Amino acid sequence: MTTPVRRPNRPTRGQRSPLPPHGTSARGTGRPGQGIPGCKCQPCRNAKNKADSMRALANLSGRPVRVPAAPVAAHVRTLLDAGMGWVRITRAAHSSSCTLARILNGQELIRRTAAERILAVKYRPAPGRTVNATGTRRRIQALMAIGHTITGIAAESGVDHSVIHDILNGAANVRGVTYDRIAAAYDWLAGGPPADVRPSAATVSRKRAAREGWAPPIAWDDDRIDDPAATPEWTGCCGTDRGWWMHTLHDIPMCPRCETAHAAWLAERRDLPGRERWRQLALAKGAASSRGANLAHDARELMRISGLDIEQAAERLGITRQHLYQELVRHPATDTELAA
């Protein structure tokens, strides 16, 4: 029986880990919980003062070093409930099991960098596990909606084209390895139309997607594309009368939710005089046509002046990240904005 090899300088049970070296903020702070005061030498004091200043500046800029851990805990529980193993989550997040355990046990704050790594983890089932095919089917349909072909998706993902045909034709479940490969190909190809596909083949894919009513990647939220109850967000306002106008003005395939909402809007105004009814129709159309451009302009100003990313700008504007991304695509930056 071989004796396990102990890592060098690793403290045993009951021993304290060695103190950080001099000239670090950790040595200057000490360990108040263990009764170890901070070092008062000049290098340690300088490092601690610099770390305190950087922390204060981060808090004032709206990007604090520590953020609430509740959304991170909810995301981890969602991954666990979906069947993603504990070890797979920790490896994907480049985090330790202790960090996840503290979050799930009620830790209130977590470092922003750790939170961003954990929140970036996407559901990936074990290779041999059987999962629902809804998310895989939606990813294939979304890629075809922007011109990718089944042959191209098969080549990129390593999944045989016959399996992709079966998924499109209504297969109920897929293996975890198939899910993982299609999801990886989707992440790579969803950024835009294919560059190495014959125009005629891309047109065939787009026409089929339009005929079947398949939504493009921009209409799907990555966090909900696997949810069978989720619906595509074609306009960012789907389910409202504004969404119906945006479908019409931007030549976007009409979705059932917007058709229902517009029919209800018309029914509520059925008894209005003709002149007033047409006036409200014109106001609704004008609001829908200008709101998207205004949102795109305001978001670019926020990102340029305040240094915010798309997600933070969307939160500041009170809309979803997906909605803002759609408006930025529909309303490119003007020459004046580019000059600024």
Residue extents of the structural domains in the chain: 66-119, 130-219, 241-339
Percent of the chain with pLDDT over 90: 11
Beta bridge partners of 130: 175
Q: How confident is the model at residue 170 (pLDDT cuts 50, 70, 90)?
A: confident
Task: State the Cα torsion 202-237-115-305 to the nearest 10°.
Answer: 90
At residue 47, what are phi and psi to the nearest 5 degrees?
-65, -40
Closest CA to 180 of 100, 125, 141, 134: 125
Structure token digits, residue 153: 């998706």
Task: Yes or no: say if 137 and 168 are a contact pair by the CB < 8 Å rule.
Answer: yes
Name the pTM for this structure: 0.61
Q: How confident is the model at residue 138 (pLDDT cuts 50, 70, 90)?
A: very high
Mean pLDDT of 7-25: 64
Q: Is the pLDDT of residue 11 over 60?
A: no
Mean pLDDT of 88-101: 86
164 or 335, higher pLDDT? 164
Q: Is the pLDDT of residue 84 over 90?
A: no
Residues 6+ apart with CB under 8 A from 156: 185, 188, 189
Mean pLDDT of 69-85: 86
Mean pLDDT of the chain: 81
Candidate ranges 100-114, 135-149, 283-297; pick with highest mean pLDDT: 135-149
242-262 tens-digit pLDDT: 888 888 877 777 888 888 888
Structure token digits, residue 134: 């809804």
The runs of H, that is alpha helices, within 131-223 are 134-145, 150-157, 161-168, 176-189, 199-212
What's the CATH number of domain 130-219, 1.10.260, 1.10.287, 1.10.10, 3.30.70? 1.10.260
Mean pLDDT of 46-71: 76
